[in-house]
Structure 1
Amino acid sequence: MAANGPSRSARAPWREAGKETEFRRRALSYAILAPNPHNRQPWLVRLDGDDALTLYCDLDRRLPATDPYDRQIVIGHGTFLELLALAAAEDGYGTEITPFPDGEDMTTLDKRPVARVKFIAGAGEPNPLFAHTLARHTNRQAFEARDVEADALAAVLSSSSVQGVTAGGCGNDALAAHLRNLTWRAHSVEMTTDYTNQESVDLMRIGAKEVAANPDGLFLEGPVFALGKLAGVISREQMADPNSSMSQQGMTMFHDAAMSARAFAWLGNSGTTRASQIAAGRAYMRLVLAAEREGLKVHPWSQSLQEYPEMAGLYREVHDLIGNGQRLQMLVRLGYAKPVIAAPRWPMETHLIA
């Protein structure tokens, strides 16, 4: 690892994906690379017999402040399951996925399984989207001043209209201008509400050493952050204070990113069951892979969809604007940008239940 550079060990799962010899473990080595809220990686897996597995939520990896009903965490299990299925299909295995086989609680997750998966030899057909798995990374940078091509946006929306989920989107028009403003206001609410901002602060890993020790959550790496931490100008205390210079600089950076959005995409469905949240996650996994296929980068900008009291007004506004009578599950900005480094990941073994 270069001095003060990003942690190489924290990205080892990206390099090791696909190297397992047992087919379920090989599929899991890809599934752990799925996008998930705040990079919490809340997945626990028990291998059952020789052709099945059970997926659970690590209940210590939820986001109670910004995700009080665990909706986003369940979506993160959906992305995991979809990437698992796509990876298994590469080896010719079909997957029968049964969400919440022992029942569900819409208020909170508990120790009951999130899904059971049965693998069926010879029933899987590879999907071209899978080829983009290792190149897909959430991109929080400002996007290029270049409109998203209409055909590319249409292709992304078509690929993610699956599992009973409706995908919508817009290019650089009046609706996009409204969404730029709305999503920025929602981001501001989250960052200036003490307890929701503190949730992100607590999950911040500053510098390669912290990232290597806890390869999850949010990460700040590189020489600038290493020196800033050493000098005491970059700290969790500064991040927790919305009036600090560091917080203000962070808000400016994210404002620039928000205003750079030239296209948006969103996913909606009934939202009435946990299975509908799993379906949204599966559709979102396809959305991000299709975006990579089209040369586009994706940044989730879904704060307005969250369900804590301070967000209620913007929640109503965004649903009135683009909900079309459905429960919006994901809202993202799309655009062209330079690639970014992969997010840290815990090793696959840490997700397995003995």
Structure 2
Amino acid sequence: MNRRKFLGLTGGSVAIAGITYYALSDKSNFVRADLKPVTNVNIQLTADERHILYLASLAPSGHNTQPWSIKHMEPLHWIICNDKSKWLPAVDPTQRETILSIGAFIQNLEYAAHNLDYRCQFNLMANTNQDEKVMDIKMIRSGDQFRYNTNSIVQRRTVRSNLLSEALKTEDIRLLVDNEPDLIHFIPSTAKAYRYLNEQTIEANRVQSYRDAAQNELADWIRFSNNDAEKYQDGLTPGSMEIEGISGWVVRNFYGKSNVMGKSFRDQNIDQVEKQVASSAGWFLITSKDASVTNLIETGRRMQRLFLKVRDKNIAIHPMTQILEEPYTHQGLNASIGINDPVQFILRTGYVKDYPEPVSLRRPVDRLIHS
């Protein structure tokens, strides 16, 4: 979803909104830079703990639900937990995507700890995707020379629009695949599988857009107004959906859940997906050997490592998971693309001329902690 998507929906609304209302309403998207620091701190964290958890929280998640919480055992000893209130049962009924997102969170956490000269001791606690306690982690001073540059974590963002069809350079593909060709698969735009993924992404979005449970769930996680964005500090905002300018103003001030459930919104979403898949350099598919908790967490970490490399190369990543979320399209995927292992991520990719700043919201660290 982006500005072009909403032009058709919002043109009439702008005409009747009026100059007076505009003067009193939200004139720009609420973005990450607008978040205010928390002053009512309940749990005393060290400066290092707070920094590490903030960077970890910048991991991506479906609908930006941020499905993680932290049980604070003692300084530098935590349990990473699976927050049931952030699940997406309509599109992720087995919590597969939840565990993948927690894996990305863990990767950020480890990189952030390395940056402050800690090494992490991990102990997996979860046996299923639904277990509350996922990973026990202790951080110990390491004295290592390696210090990960966490600027890549801060600057990471999903880019949906303006991907170029220019082929990725061989050296860039090699960097992103990272000697794991059996787990990270690049499908260039010249491949037959590329056309299949384009077609099935459109079809999966068509199915999902008209599946009321999925559409209702989406509506629950869209923060249309700046007030809601500031209140919840999660979910999808006009800024993160790349809805800017006049269209963004109309959406922030006139749109709500009922619009998402309407036919016009659903059709516009499908139309926008068609435009998106028509322009890219290809797809990255990330697989795992099986769907165990261990391998899902590692696959989430693998995806995040890839995601943190792309900005320096002006490469965009746009996760488009709908094929995996809809049984109708998922069942034929592996046979059609010639991959045996289960696919866990489908990432649209391509170069961009200008890389936008990150805008998706994050809940403050203190809201992640419980004793």
Category of TM-score, reference length = shorter chain: 0.7 to 0.9
Paired residue for 1:151? 171
- Of 178, 198, 203 in structure 1, the residue corresponding to residue 216 of structure 2 is 198
Secondary structure in 2 matching 1:220: coil
Q: CA 1:189–1:169 in structure 2 vs 1: closer, same or farther (change >3 Å)?
A: same
Alignment of structure 1 residues 135-150 onto 2, 5 Å: 135-150=155-170
Q: Give the letter for the 1:317 counterpart.
A: G
Any conservation in 1 of the 2:81–2:135 contact (CA below 8 Å)?
yes
Paired residue for 2:347? 332
CA distance in 2, matches of 1:324, 1:228: 41
- Give the drift of 1:343: 0.5
1:266 aligns with 2:291: no
Paired residue for 2:99? 74
Secondary structure in 1 matching 2:308: helix
Paired residue for 2:257? 236
Render the CA deviation track for 1:247-303: whole Å, top value 9, x for unaligned.
333322222112212211011112231111111111011010122232211000111
Which blocks of at least 5 consecutive residues in structure 2 are unaligned? 1-24, 38-44
Q: CA 1:268–1:55 in structure 2 vs 1: closer, same or farther (change >3 Å)?
A: same
- Of 74, 81, 85 in structure 1, the residue corresponding to residue 110 of structure 2 is 85
CA distance in 2, matches of 1:261, 1:141: 10
CA distance in 2, matches of 1:292, 1:9: 18
Q: Give the letter for the 2:188 counterpart.
A: G
Alignment of structure 1 residues 249-264 onto 2, 5 Å: 249-264=268-283
Any conservation in 1 of the 2:55–2:109 contact (CA below 8 Å)?
yes
Q: CA 1:252–1:54 in structure 2 vs 1: closer, same or farther (change >3 Å)?
A: same
CA distance in 2, matches of 1:122, 1:302: 38
TM-score between the two structures when normalised by the length of structure 1: 0.86
CA distance in 2, matches of 1:170, 1:127: 33
Q: CA 1:187–1:347 in structure 2 vs 1: closer, same or farther (change >3 Å)?
A: same
Render the CA deviation track for 1:31-82: whole Å, top value 9, x for unaligned.
0111111100111112222332111111111000100000000111000000
- Between structure 1 and structure 2, the one with the greater Rg is 2
Any conservation in 1 of the 2:35–2:230 contact (CA below 8 Å)?
no
- Give the drift of 1:176: 1.7
Alignment of structure 1 residues 123-142 onto 2, 5 Å: 126=146, 130-142=150-162
1:172 aligns with 2:189: yes
Any conservation in 1 of the 2:115–2:149 contact (CA below 8 Å)?
no
Paired residue for 1:186? 204
Render the CA deviation track for 1:80-130: whole Å, top value 9, x for unaligned.
00000001001111112222x2x4235xx143x111111121165536564
Q: Give the letter for the 2:152 counterpart.
A: H
Paired residue for 1:285? 304
Alignment of structure 1 residues 35-54 onto 2, 5 Å: 35-54=60-79
CA distance in 2, matches of 1:142, 1:267: 23
Q: CA 1:323–1:237 in structure 2 vs 1: closer, same or farther (change >3 Å)?
A: farther
Aligned length: 332
Render the CA deviation track for 1:120-166: whole Å, top value 9, x for unaligned.
2116553656441122101121412322222212211117x49xx71
Paired residue for 1:17? none
Any conservation in 1 of the 2:26–2:252 contact (CA below 8 Å)?
no
- Structure 1: 4+ residue segments shifted above 6 A: none
CA distance in 2, matches of 1:301, 1:13: 31
Paired residue for 1:60? 85
Which blocks of at least 5 consecutive residues in structure 1 are unaligned? 15-19
Any conservation in 1 of the 2:159–2:316 contact (CA below 8 Å)?
yes
Paired residue for 1:319? 334
- Aligned-pair identity (%): 20
Any conservation in 1 of the 2:33–2:359 contact (CA below 8 Å)?
no
Q: Give the letter for the 1:264 counterpart.
A: W
Render the CA deviation track for 1:200-234: whole Å, top value 9, x for unaligned.
1111111322211122111124442332454x5x3
CA distance in 1, matches of 2:51, 2:270: 40
CA distance in 2, matches of 1:199, 1:126: 42
Structure 1 window deviating more from structure 2 (210-219 vs 53-62): it is 210-219
Q: CA 1:96–1:3 in structure 2 vs 1: closer, same or farther (change >3 Å)?
A: same
Any conservation in 2 of the 1:296–1:335 contact (CA below 8 Å)?
yes
Q: CA 1:124–1:48 in structure 2 vs 1: closer, same or farther (change >3 Å)?
A: farther
Render the CA deviation track for 1:148-206: whole Å, top value 9, x for unaligned.
222212211117x49xx711112221222222112222222211211112111111111
- Give the drift of 1:323: 6.1
